[in-house]
Amino acid sequence: MKPANLRCEFMTNPIGIDVTTPRLSWTVDSDVRGDFQVAYRILATSDGGEVLWDSEKVESSQTTHVEYGGPSLAPRARVYWRVACWDAKGVASDLDECSPAFFETGLLDESLWNAEWIGLRNAGSNDMFRPSPHLRRVFGIADPVASARLYITALGLYRVWINGQLVGDDLFTPGWTDYDVRVPYQTYDVTGHLVQGENCIGAVLGDGWYSGFVGGQRMRNRWGELPELRAQLEITLEGGENMFISTDDSWQGAFGPIVVSDLLMGEDYDARRQLGEWTTANYDDSAWSMARVLSGTNATLVGKRNEPVRKAIERVAVEMTEPVPGTYVFDLGQNMVGWARLSVTGEEGDQIRLRHAEMLNPDGTIYTENLREAACVDRYTLKGGGPETYEPSFTFHGFRYVEVTGLRGKPALECITGIVVHSDCEMTGSFECSHELINQLQRNIQWGQRGNFLEVPTDCPQRDERLGWMGDAQIFARTAAFNMDAAAFLTKWMIDVRDAQSPEGAFPNVAPKIKALGGHAGWEDALGLGAPGWGDAGVIVPWQMYLCYGDTRQLEEGFDSMLRWVNFVEQCSPGLLWTDVKGWNFGDWLSINADSPGEVLATQYFAYTTALVARIARLLGRDEAEELEDLGGRIREAFNKAYVSADGKIKGETQTIYVLALQFDLLPDELRILAFEHLIRDIESKEWHLSTGFLGVTHLLPVLSRFGRFDVAYRLLTNETYPSWLYPIRHGATTIWERWDGWTEEKGFQSPGMNSFNHYAYGSVGEWMYANVGGIDIYDERPGYEQILIKPVPGGGITSAKATYDSIKGKIECDWSLNDTGIVMKVSIPANTKATVMIPSTGPVTESGKDLSEADGVHSVVQGENVTAIEIGGGRYEFASTSTD
Ligand code: BGC
């Protein structure tokens, strides 16, 4: 047995962390079936090899979230760590063979920042003319450099170079938080960027979320008016001496080619204004002015703790058309998020305009009505004299089509390349099956996640909104955690959520919190005071993270805020019915001709969330557990009394109302089946179509399968007629649409004010597909994949499926196919885990040709009527069943 995949706070070798008791995780590899880690040892050493912490042998199977146990961490401390593990036979791996992982702390202590906030005032700057400041400083280094770190952040966005070399490949740094509360900073190891002699550091700034447009209402400057930079370069020379180069009024500044840059509006770049080699030491900056020390912020600076946004994929255009003479439309074949790289040749002063869109009008021109106030236009002015390429720095668009105008002639397809960017969370899940449209659905779900996992989980990437809407995030969280390693990303976002909680205890609807400016109080209410199913994300997301990653710290850190939320909702619930919703109640947002009464939905969520907080309280051993359980029971009683009749009908009688009552276990036993039958009748009355909006959609198929109607679940999943998941796919969708009726054959485009073609919410069906078609699921009682549930249920005409998942415990696979006699199921689970495997079979089952009773690593065989249930330990298995039918 060997340890692998060493992580600290979910990241590989993070530097600049400010978690003072970081948690360490690893996986174990073993070729032996059923192998277990019986003990581990962690050895942590300093940069100089001195032992900081030796855990000694700890008899434990734990491989995740082991708290660092060394002496308290100083700022800038580099800690190397290795693990040895003992297998089931008590044999230890060689500690020296474990290649060391490391983590490094950031500045930790605010007083260690000695840099000023600087920028450049531009007298003419207004909404339309906001040139990006360039800031530089030249400095000499007398001796060879032993090591160097750059601690850097901005109010706004920055990119930084040292001696002409870009530092890092992170985009949209420092990231997005509520900048009034905390501002993230990056730490870069820049030892290799520096030379003995003259050096230059230079940074360019953009408005970003801080002072650009975001959140609708054609509003900008939500946090401040001008971007500001704060950077501290700390250099250790070989002689041991330290040097500091910090932002202050000795820096020089100039405006350059980025004439306007805005996340929503786009970028205007004039290549004639390029500044040359301005980040190198021998550049002539005599025309530059002095940078200004600006006001900065009182917010706390925090080490970045989630993956940065990075470039992920390049897409070559697949087609170009000319719907209007001189207007060229490039099709990238995929609705995506990022920008277009322009490659062009022309004359000095030629201006090329790129407009972005997700869809085309029937005449082949681009459809931009759904962008609302977001212009999504990039402009490039040529300097002339040869081929030029351009990519914007501080904007992103949600698009599939790029309209190019201003060219001198017909361009080649290579004129436009799509650059896809997203938060660089590792892809962890894959799913495919014999049904090609369902495979496209899975691809669309993943593309929706790529497009909306950009610093925070957003609703959409194209129109003038792009906010961290919490309802969307809570319904999609479980699917998200299958597709990508969302642990660090959501851990950081939950801090944004807690930062946004109101003094009365209301979680918000969007996080980071958005300030309404200029008297838009209604908008502030809409965003600020948690709606049923939106505010509840403050409880549901950490709970899902606990299930997916076994993370209890998330629950501990969030517990008090969860309690305050429950208290807040209780205040809004006379008679324990959440009838007095303070902000907006979005209800079952975007359902199809099936309005659920707001107070019924609200009370369902109140009951569910309270029950979850009670469960969390038990888990954490908190005194409040009993009181919360009691409260949960009383809410259920009030709910039943007010809204449920003796025949199992529930007020509203929509699919969503029934689904939530069943999924959240709100009904007494005797009414469940009756309520379930009402649900089925409703689906049938719609000719076997769904009508659920955001709140119902995630739980629809799970309820159908939980109560035994896999046939109906599959029928809905494979439906190709409107409204359904596959209807948009039959009409060429490459992402998940915001609305079931975003476009229909009958009516064309609908509701342009609210019609994104890249919203992940309805993609929350992914969790059901992984669990029931793919067959990989979480066992709630032993979360974090300590115990795994392998339980594919073939149906819907699907004859084979394969799902893989890189869990926090290692790789899980389930690969099944039906044949003439039954099913063949290849299953792989990581060492040090167990799985309950349910093999659909009416006859005997073998493992690698052997009877189950003789198969190595297979335990507790129970033969049911249509299923064989077994327990296995880590390893690869091949099961085959023969049907006796
Ligand atoms: C967003 C949604 C969000 C909703 C609240 C919309 O504008 O795009 O996804 O959850 O508002 O109802």
DSSP result, 112-156? G--PPPEE---TT--SS-BPPEEEEEEEEE-S-EEEEEEEEEEES
Atom of ligand 1 nearest to the CA of 463: 8
| Predicted confidence (pLDDT) per residue in 723-771, tens digit | 999 999 999 999 999 999 999 999 999 888 899 999 999 999 999 999 9
Residue of 431, 398, 438, 434 whose CA lies nearest to 725: 438
Residue 472 beta carbon below 6 angstroms from any ligand 1 atom: yes
Residues 6+ apart with CB under 8 A from 441: 725, 726, 729, 765, 769
Sole residue written with tokens 């021109």: 365
Secondary element (H or E) of residue 694 = helix 694-706
Q: CA-based diameter of the chain, in Å?
A: 88
Tell me the C-alpha distance between 737 and 445, whole Å: 10
Q: Ligand 1, closest atom to CA 459?
A: 9
Tell me what percent of the chain is helix, strand and coil, each rounded to the nearest 5. Answer: 25, 35, 40
Q: Check pocket membership of 464 for ligand 1, CB cut-off 6 A.
A: no
- CA–centroid distance, 209 to ligand 1, in Å, is 18
Candidate from 217, 472, 476, 735 with most ligand 1 atoms within 8 A of CB, to mutate: 472
Q: What amino acid is encoded at 408 in this protein? A: R
Contact between 13 and 836 under an 8 Å Cβ cutoff? The reply is no
Contact 490, 425 (CB under 8 A): no
Residue 548 near residue 770 (C-beta atoms within 8 A): no
Ligand 1 centre to CA of 554 (Å) is 26
Query: What's the first-to-final CA gap in the chain, in angstroms?
Result: 43
Residue 231, by phi and psi: left (phi above 0), alpha (psi -120 to 50) or beta?
beta
Peptide linkage before 512 cis (omega within 30 of 0): yes
Ligand 1 centroid from CA 385, angstroms: 47
Ligand 1 close to Cβ of residue 257 (< 6 A): no
Ligand 1 atom with least separation from CA of 469:
10
Q: Is the CB of 459 under 6 A from ligand 1?
A: yes
Q: How far is the CA of 65 from the centre of ligand 1 (A)?
A: 35
Full DSSP string of 492-549 = HHHHHHHHT--TTS---SBSS-----TT-HHHHHHHHSPPTTTTTHHHHHHHHHHHHH
Q: Does residue 588's CB lie within 6 angstroms of at least one atom of ligand 1?
A: no
Q: What is the pLDDT of residue 733?
A: 98
Cα of 669 vs centre of ligand 1, distance in Å, is 35
Q: Tokens 């805005």 belong to which residue?
A: 262
Residue nearest to atom 5 of ligand 1 (CA): 586
- Could you tell me the mean pLDDT of each successive run of 10 residues in the chain, 885 residues long? 98 96 98 97 96 98 98 97 97 96 96 96 66 97 97 98 98 98 98 98 97 86 94 97 97 96 96 98 96 96 97 97 98 98 98 98 96 95 97 98 97 98 98 98 98 97 95 98 98 98 95 76 74 98 98 97 98 97 93 97 98 98 98 98 98 98 98 98 98 98 98 98 98 98 94 92 98 97 97 97 98 96 96 97 93 92 91 97 69
- Which atom of ligand 1 has the smallest separation from the CA of 738? 9
Query: CA–CA separation, 242 vs 344, rounded Å?
Result: 47
φ and ψ at 549, to 5 degrees?
A: -125, 0
**Which residues make Cβ contacts (< 8 Å) with residue 211, sequence separation at least 6?**
155, 156, 220, 221, 222, 223, 224, 225, 226, 227
pLDDT score, position 521? 60
As a whole number of angstroms, the distance between CA 311 and CA 504 comes to: 41
Tens-place pLDDT, residues 446-470: 999 999 999 999 999 999 999 999 9
Q: By C-alpha distance, which of 51, 37, 45 is closest to 93?
A: 37
The reported pLDDT for the residue numbered 793 is 97
pLDDT score for 515: 77
Nearest partner of 635 among 665, 596, 677, 670, judged by Cα: 665
Joined tokens for residue 449: 């996640």
DSSP state of 76: T
User: Residue 631 phi/psi, 5° resolution?
Assistant: -60, -45
DSSP 570-583: HHT-GGG-----SS
Residue 813's nearest CA partner among 425, 549, 444, 429 is 429
Q: Is-contact 269 378, C-beta < 8 A?
A: yes
Q: Which secondary-structure segment (H or E) carries 825?
A: strand 823-840
Is 760 touching ligand 1 by the criterion CB < 6 Å?
Answer: no
**Ligand 1 site, residue 879, Cβ cutoff 6 A:** no
Ligand 1: centre distance to CA 762 (Å): 12
Ligand 1 center–CA 752 separation, angstroms = 14
CA distances from 607 to 578, 614, 625 (A): 10, 11, 15
Report whether residue 584 contacts ligand 1, using a CB cutoff of 6 Å: no
Q: Which residues of 774-788 are buried (b: 16+ CB within 10 A; e: fewer)?
A: bbbbbbeeebbbbbb
757 lines ligand 1 (CB under 6 A): no
In angstroms, the CA 753 to CA 513 distance is 22
Q: 761: CA distance to ligand 1 center in Å?
A: 10
Q: Decide whether any atom of ligand 1 lies within 6 Å of the 589 Cβ.
A: yes
Look at residues 776, 783, 842, 837 and name the one whose alpha carbon lies nearest to residue 811.
Answer: 776
- Say if strands 101-105 and 15-17 run parallel, antiparallel, or are unpaired: parallel
Instruction: Say if CB 157 and CB 396 are below 8 A apart.
Output: no
- Whether ligand 1 lies within 6 angstroms of the CB of 469 is answered as yes
Residue 523: CB within 6 Å of ligand 1?
no
pTM (two decimals): 0.97
* CB within 8 Å of 320: residues ≥ 6 apart: 328, 329, 330, 331, 411, 413, 415, 416
Task: Return the axis-axis angle of helices 710-718 and 436-452, rounded to nearest 10°.
Answer: 70
Tell how far the Cα of 470 is from the centroid of ligand 1, in angstroms.
Answer: 9
Best of 589, 737, 755 to mutate for ligand 1, by most ligand atoms within 8 A of CB?
589
Ligand 1 atom 12 nearest Cα: 586
Whether residue 586 has its Cβ less than 6 Å from ligand 1? yes
Number of DSSP helices (H) and strands (E) in the chain, helices first: 15, 47
Choose which residue among 467, 586, 698, 735 to substitute to test ligand 1 binding: the one with the highest number of ligand atoms within 8 A of its C-beta: 586
Residue 9 has φ and ψ, to the nearest 5°, of: 45, 45
> Distance, CA 706 to ligand 1 centroid (Å)?
29
pLDDT cut 90: percent of the chain above it = 93
Pairing relation of β-strands 858-863 and 823-840?
Answer: unpaired
**Closest atom of ligand 1 relative to the 754 alpha carbon:** 7
| Any ligand 1 atom below 6 A from CB of 532 | no
Instruction: Report helix, strand or coil for 642.
Output: helix
The protein residue with its alpha carbon nearest to ligand 1, atom 4, reads 469
Strand partners, 552: none
- Alpha carbon distance 583, 504 (integer Å): 13
For tokens 């969030």, the residue is 558
CA of 287 to the centre of ligand 1 (A): 48
Q: Does the CB atom of residue 471 touch ligand 1 within 6 A?
A: yes
Residue 808 near residue 549 (C-beta atoms within 8 A): yes
Residues labelled as active-site residues: 465, 738
Its sign, for the CA torsion 532, 535, 541, 544, is negative
Pairing of strands 416-423, 309-316: antiparallel
Residue with CA closest to ligand 1 atom 1: 459
**What pLDDT score does 518 carry?**
63
pLDDT for the residue 288:
97
Instruction: Name residue 150's beta-bridge partners.
Output: 188, 233
**pLDDT score recorded for residue 826:** 98
Q: What is the pLDDT of residue 870?
A: 96
Cβ distance 101 to 12 under 8 Å?
yes
Distance of CA 456 to the CA centre of its chain: 6
Distance CA 744, CA 646 (A): 40
